[in-house]
Amino acid sequence: MTVSGIDVASYQSTDYSTAGLSFVMVKATEGSSYVNPRHAAQVATGRGHGLVVGHYHFARPGSMTAQVTYFLQHAAPGTGDVLALDWEDAGVSGAEKDEFIKHLQAASPAHRVVLYCNRDFWLNRDRTSFCGDGLWIADPNAPAGHPQITHPWTFHQYSETGGVDHDVANFASAAALRTWASKGHAPAYEPFPGVAWFTVGRRSPIVAAMHDRLVAVGCNHYQSSANKDVIGSGDIASYEAWQRKYNAEHHKGWTGAALKWPPGKETWDALRVPNV
């Protein structure tokens, strides 16, 4: 079984559709002098919709260690993010590919590191089959999830439609992908504090974190961000919008009180409020 995702660069919108997706790979850097100007916003869109986020670096001839440093500086990966080397430039040798991956693994041990390349590079330029924690293979001539290689693969870029590259990940579920990406350590989210906790006027950094997440998932019914750490009418309206959105996207069939304040555990857990 597989789960679906896309990869984006500066050519794509920052407000890309996330419907049906479990992950997004975002171009961060290229060589030692280029940063995708949309990287931060494209990452924020993925995070806001609960996707596993990946960052990739397009390698150019030159110092691999310098490019790793440049990549990490500008990608600023978070917990559970995936890092990828994009190996497409024929001026970058297979040995340099290996050097980049090994240096990146050493420099960022908390993250999964994968290799992206097309089928020609993998079959005809690679000499070691070294791909870090996984191979992200580009093979648009094969059906999704069936790249024409014998080596185990983790991601398959299989098509480009509507100006967006489409991928699948070789995992049974989005949860399995997230667990792999975080190396078995799930990102820390605030546990559900209980229905009685959600009283108007309560001040807490958890409320501010909830505010930010509701804005990120497109349920912003706030008049302002002043006193965002205090539960108020904006939180109620925004959270009820989130409940309606979750209900529709997951076909829950909820009605009446199930869509009203206060929050319930299921929608709270799905909102993924960061642990503060």
Please, are residues 164 and 8 in contact by the beta-carbon 8 Å criterion?
yes
Q: 155 pairs with which residues across the strands? A: 136, 169
Q: Which of 15, 86, 88, 190 is catalytic?
A: 88
Residue 60: how many CB atoms within 10 A of its CB? 16
- The alpha carbons of the chain give a radius of gyration, in whole angstroms, of 20
Asked if 266 is an active-site residue, the reply is no
Q: Minimal CA–CA distance to 165: which of 4, 5, 7, 3?
A: 7
In this structure, what are the phi and psi dihedrals at residue 172, rounded to the nearest 5 degrees?
A: -75, -20
| Helix/strand/coil percent split, the chain, to 5 | 35, 20, 45
Query: Which are the contacts of 139, defined by CB distance < 8 A and separation ≥ 6?
Result: 118, 119, 147, 148, 149, 156, 157, 158
Active site residue 88: yes
Q: Which residues are catalytic?
A: 7, 88
